[in-house]
Structure 1
């Protein structure tokens, strides 16, 4: 029986693509005096490309933008600080995020969150989504000293939640870092993606999570 539900953050609960687009648009507008020699759409698209879905930290992204576009009035440190300070104001949740978490909590599932990234930055984003209180355990790679897809961070979360892999499900958008990694630990998995992969259950709507858990639990909703 599933007793614990664990989540990835970016691309799973946080609509990172839309959040980044909104942030970078506002950053350009705020810093227009120093960036107006670059067409806005080109600046935005180049940032998104260099960002590589969040897998390149922004000091490297801004260093390359300064080099390519000849940005002379701003340093990479200033641009990075702007990113750290303002991104949290542009965090966009996927639809049904809060109702989904509320339903799971009402059924007394233990909830966990595992995310790679900088501790304070990711906590700012989690708080911006107003979901911190729903989670029993939140593990961020920087503070844990280990990151996905290392199985240790998954097992560590399960240990803190006091559940076995078979009693848990992990939901994430990255096939290797989330789905395969959790599966290797022995967890049930749901892949938040419109793509298909043999042997992996994919979902596109957060409301599907509860449906699959109910199915795995033999049609019965879990109540501790």
Structure 2
């Protein structure tokens, strides 16, 4: 097991790290299917077949997979994706993880890629903002860069006047989160990944953050 010194600033990815993003897509797809009178579950079935981490436009690929792609459908689906108002819940495991970090005096930041307005909507629906010290939207920098650009991570460090050695990144995307964090000198954990930096669940990050040997087994 890789050993890290105790960390004070925890930088978490949002989608597929603090919650399962498919739950957000599910309510978006359901709203589209009802409005367009499409067979229930069609879009989610298509969604599960695409390589989401490699997709440049998930919504387009989903519609293509259903044989429903056209500009008007894409625009309509994107509008739902951006503005839908239906609460989704954070997993209990995430709540316990975040509460534990706050109890230990850690600072919690969320750093997320994606369309800012969409990510803001997700944050609102999840009700996650009160549980974190700050949410960082990577594209909200007026220069268009986002993870894995090290400037995203450096901005978080600078905001909290924290050195890289006192921080840790946790995310599900190896290139964006792990390699991105490491490029800025920050120790990083790969949620759902493997190898020395891989962890199976958020709770597995606690020993790396708190240096609690009794929690490493």
TM-score range, shorter chain: 0.7 to 0.9
Aligned partners of 1:112 and 1:135 also within 8 Å: yes
Aligned partners of 1:9 and 1:114 also within 8 Å: yes
1:75 and 2:73 are equivalent in the alignment:
yes
1:46 and 2:14 are equivalent in the alignment:
no
Aligned partners of 1:151 and 1:181 also within 8 Å: yes
3-state DSSP of counterpart to 1:111: strand
1:162 and 2:161 are equivalent in the alignment:
yes
Distance 1:51-1:79 versus aligned 2 partners, 3 A rule? farther
Aligned partners of 2:170 and 2:188 also within 8 Å: yes
1:212 and 2:211 are equivalent in the alignment:
no
- How far residue 50 of structure 1 moved from its aligned partner, in angstroms, is 5.0
* 2:117 corresponds to which of 101, 120, 127: 120
- How far residue 153 of structure 1 moved from its aligned partner, in angstroms, is 0.3
3-state DSSP of counterpart to 1:171: strand
- Distance (Å, rounded) in 2 between the aligned partners of 1:31 and 1:157: 40
* 1:133 corresponds to which of 115, 121, 130: 130
Distance 1:55-1:92 versus aligned 2 partners, 3 A rule? farther
Scaled by the length of structure 2, what TM-score is found? Answer: 0.80
Deviations 1:19-49 (A, max 9, x none): 3245424532x2253x2xxx54444322444
- Distance (Å, rounded) in 2 between the aligned partners of 1:42 and 1:8: 28
Aligned partners of 1:170 and 1:190 also within 8 Å: yes
- Name 2:194's counterpart in structure 1: 196
Count residues in correspondence. 207
Scaled by the length of structure 1, what TM-score is found? Answer: 0.78
Aligned partners of 2:93 and 2:202 also within 8 Å: yes
- Larger radius of gyration, structure 1 or 2? 1
Aligned partners of 1:114 and 1:138 also within 8 Å: yes
What is the CA RMSD across the aligned residues, in angstroms?
Answer: 2.9
- Name 1:222's counterpart in structure 2: none
- Distance (Å, rounded) in 1 between the aligned partners of 2:206 and 2:153: 21
Aligned partners of 2:7 and 2:209 also within 8 Å: yes
Aligned partners of 1:16 and 1:91 also within 8 Å: no
